């Protein structure tokens, strides 16, 4: 049923089977209720190899001196309490450190009972935790869990169809999904994973998506343990949730601790989960950066660095990487990841661009009038259409002070993000690499926004190392070139054949226009357009020297002949 043509040909049969399968899930859930209580109670924890040693110490006879034995027992009990308290509340287990509790928050782990502690400071064996992390899968004899897994596998691709939505509400599938999301109740990570995949298909519907958020679904989603197989299903659900703008608005109105935990969870998925989950997570961020509430918390948790790390750690950017080192499926997946990361970074700076313009407009309104202009609410998405972005860039070029600071761009430059994107564009232009024009356009669009800052215009003059090529840059050493040389190569006629496209040329020209044709005189530069008292040397020190240096780099790269 994963193939749309097959699902469409059996649509009538599926309409008849969906209510039967949902009813069957409820029956299997009720039948396995007692088994789940045994799993959650922890009464039948698998015995460890050296557990008998602990039992012997526990069953050892007391000392002859009763008072001394009681005193030692009290000391032992107090020390064990201190150790247990330290394990559950140490900084290593807090969410701010980047390492996470296997059962979610510390509060959630305390609800599990003594047999299961957290993953960072735990005395639990793999036999105890494996069912919660990877789950079990038994075909013969088929267990109740396996039966439910197969039913959920059948329902997942059908859940996206509108015809199934009525049956979903009729049989209260949301409550059923909430049950499967709780790994502590099901005791099987694979079953919870399939339940989350079914949830992802239902989140395709706006009505169901809103009901999921209103019923506290986000809080339950964040309780899924990590690292575990169901955490990959959480990444898929977040991606589907991002498509519904109204649902994201309601997520932004959740309590601050829930919203911070959501960003923390998604950043963990971006750094530590499976490759598909990392891609889903970065796609989720790319779609929700338009909401200021999420963008601010993303910056508070140093999200930009983690996104750039995801890009820089790919084998594509390693010195020892060769094109033939990966097979075709892995290379396609890698380039898909690169594309989504570049798109996410592009949306990140476009959102910050809109917020920066709103801030400058408020400052201007405050200076020229008594009334105050309020910014849009934090839970509302900012407008980032192409026309609005162009107007915002023109506004910043004319009104942003020459020495103004813009923290997102400064942080991006300090993280070597500028060089990283330029290297990526050079790889796309190089015939020795598979051309990915759309990825290059996203990278250049990011530079288009950042190039409103004089610091970025000057940084493009710095040299960086790129892969060798015979026809990428014929006038300069292909191993070490300035950033402007790569921009010129994007529009050079010698690379017109298969490695460039009109979209790449237009995106590169936009960056060059910002750098070479930007206004020399900006507010706060100390020079007015009609000033006669300032010396030429003083003028050059305020902005003209940056443009002159950029022009020299373009001339050296044979940019005039393009």
Q: Are residues 254 and 362 in the same domain?
A: yes
Which distant-in-sequence residues (6+ apart) come within 8 Å of 273 by Cβ? 226, 227, 231, 232, 235, 281
Distance between CA 186 and CA 181 in Å, rounded?
A: 8
Q: Tell me how many domains the chain contains.
A: 3
Q: Are residues 390 and 405 in the same domain?
A: no
DSSP string, 151-181: HHHHHHHHTTSGGGHHHHHHTTHHHHHHHHH
Q: Are residues 259 and 273 in the same domain?
A: yes
- 425 in a structural domain: yes
Neighbouring C-beta atoms of residue 300, cutoff 10 Å: 10
- Alpha helix ranges (H) inside 10-143: 11-31, 33-41, 51-58, 66-89, 106-110, 126-133
Give the phi and the psi of residue 504 in degrees, each rounded to 5: -65, -45
Q: Are residues 430 and 482 in the same domain?
A: yes
- 235 in a structural domain: yes
- 172 in a structural domain: yes
Q: Are residues 413 and 362 in the same domain?
A: no
- 194 in a structural domain: no
Q: Domain boundary at 189, 215, 243, which?
A: 189
Q: Domain boundary at 140, 158, 189, which?
A: 189
Q: Are residues 162 and 233 in the same domain?
A: no
Residues counted in the chain: 562
Q: Domain boundary at 370, 400, 430, which?
A: 400
pTM over 0.85: no
- 52 in a structural domain: no
DSSP string, 19-35: HHHHHHHHHHHHHTHHH
CA distances, 448 to each of 343, 430, 457, 513, 530 (Å): 13, 21, 10, 9, 30
Neighbouring C-beta atoms of residue 375, cutoff 10 Å: 14
Q: Are residues 418 and 309 in the same domain?
A: no
Q: Are residues 79 and 142 in the same domain?
A: yes
Which distant-in-sequence residues (6+ apart) come within 8 Å of 337 by Cβ? 275, 278, 279, 282, 310, 314
Domain that holds residue 37: 1-43+73-189
- 198 in a structural domain: no
pLDDT tens over the chain, length 562 residues? 667 777 777 878 888 999 999 999 999 998 876 455 545 444 344 455 555 555 544 445 554 445 544 554 554 554 544 444 344 443 444 444 344 444 444 344 434 333 343 444 455 566 667 777 777 778 888 899 999 999 999 999 999 889 899 999 999 999 999 999 999 888 899 999 999 999 999 999 999 999 999 999 999 999 999 889 999 999 999 999 999 999 999 999 999 999 999 999 999 999 988 889 999 999 999 999 999 999 999 999 999 999 999 999 988 887 645 555 566 778 888 889 999 999 999 999 999 999 999 999 988 877 665 455 557 899 999 999 999 999 999 999 999 888 889 999 999 999 999 999 999 998 888 754 555 889 999 999 999 999 999 999 989 999 888 765 544 444 444 568 889 989 988 887 545 444 558 889 999 999 999 998 878 776 655 444 444 444 444 445 456 777 888 888 888 777 666 5
Angle 108-111-113 (CA atoms, 0-180°, nearest 5)? 130
Cβ–Cβ under 8 Å, residues 238 and 212: no
Q: Are residues 395 and 413 in the same domain?
A: no
Q: Are residues 93 and 183 in the same domain?
A: yes
Longest C-alpha distance within the chain, in Å? 101
Radius of gyration of the chain (CA): 29
Q: Are residues 128 and 176 in the same domain?
A: yes
CA quadruple 490, 496, 502, 505: dihedral, nearest 10: 20
User: Which residue in this structure is represented by tokens 């998925």?
Assistant: 269
């Amino acid at each position: 049923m994963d193939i749309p043509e097959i699902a469409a040909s059996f649509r009538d049969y599926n309409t008849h089977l969906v209510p039967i399968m949902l009813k069957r899930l409820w029956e299997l859930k009720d039948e396995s209720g007692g088994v789940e209580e045994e799993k959650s109670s922890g009464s039948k924890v698998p015995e460890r190899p050296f557990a008998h040693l602990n039992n012997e110490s526990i069953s050892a006879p007391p000392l002859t001196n009763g008072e001394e034995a009681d005193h030692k027992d009290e000391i032992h009990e107090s020390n064990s309490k201190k150790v247990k308290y330290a394990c559950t509340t140490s900084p290593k287990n807090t969410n701010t450190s980047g390492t996470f509790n296997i059962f979610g928050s510390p509060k959630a782990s305390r609800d599990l009972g003594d047999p299961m502690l957290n993953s960072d400071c735990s005395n639990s064996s793999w036999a105890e935790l494996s069912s919660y992390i990877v789950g079990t899968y038994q075909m013969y004899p088929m267990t109740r869990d396996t039966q439910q897994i197969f039913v959920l596998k059948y329902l997942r691709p059908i859940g996206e169809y509108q015809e199934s939505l009525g049956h979903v509400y009729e049989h209260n599938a949301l409550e059923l999904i909430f049950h499967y999301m709780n790994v502590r109740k099901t005791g099987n990570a694979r079953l919870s994973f399939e339940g989350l995949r079914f949830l992802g298909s239902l989140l395709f519907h706006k009505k169901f998506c809103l009901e999921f958020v209103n019923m506290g679904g986000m809080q339950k989603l964040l309780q899924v343990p990590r690292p575990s197989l169901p955490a990959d299903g959480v990444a898929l659900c977040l991606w589907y949730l991002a498509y519904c703008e109204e649902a994201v608005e309601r997520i932004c109105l959740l309590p601050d601790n829930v919203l911070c935990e959501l960003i923390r969870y998604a950043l963990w998925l971006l750094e530590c989960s499976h490759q598909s989950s990392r891609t889903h997570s970065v796609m989720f961020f790319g779609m929700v950066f338009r909401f200021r509430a999420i963008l601010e918390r993303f910056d508070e948790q140093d999200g930009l660095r983690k996104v750039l790390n995801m890009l820089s750690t790919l084998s594509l950017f390693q010195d020892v990487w060769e094109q033939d080192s990966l097979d075709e499926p892995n290379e396609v997946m890698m380039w898909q990841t690169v594309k989504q990361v570049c798109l996410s970074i592009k949306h990140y700076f476009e959102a910050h661009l809109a917020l920066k313009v709103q801030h400058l407009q408020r400052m201007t309104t405050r200076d020229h009038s008594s009334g105050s202009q309020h910014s849009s609410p934090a839970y509302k998405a900012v407008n980032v259409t192409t026309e609005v972005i162009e107007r915002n860039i023109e506004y910043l070029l004319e009104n942003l002070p020459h020495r103004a600071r813009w923290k997102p761009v400064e942080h991006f430059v300090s993280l070597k993000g500028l060089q990283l994107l330029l290297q990526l564009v050079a790889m796309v232009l190089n015939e020795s690499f598979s051309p990915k024009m759309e990825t290059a356009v996203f990278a250049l669009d990011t530079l288009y926004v950042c190039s409103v800052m004089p610091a970025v215009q000057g940084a493009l003059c710095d040299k960086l190392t790129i892969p060798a090529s015979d026809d990428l840059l014929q006038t300069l050493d292909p191993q070490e070139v300035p950033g402007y040389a790569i921009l010129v190569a994007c529009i050079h006629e010698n690379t017109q054949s298969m490695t460039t496209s009109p979209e790449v040329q237009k995106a590169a020209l936009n960056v060059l226009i910002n750098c070479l044709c930007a206004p020399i005189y900006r507010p706060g530069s100390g020079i007015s357009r009609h000033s006669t008292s300032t010396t030429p040397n003083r003028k050059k020190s305020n902005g003209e020297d940056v443009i002159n240096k950029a022009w020299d780099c373009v001339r050296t790269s044979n940019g005039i002949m393009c």
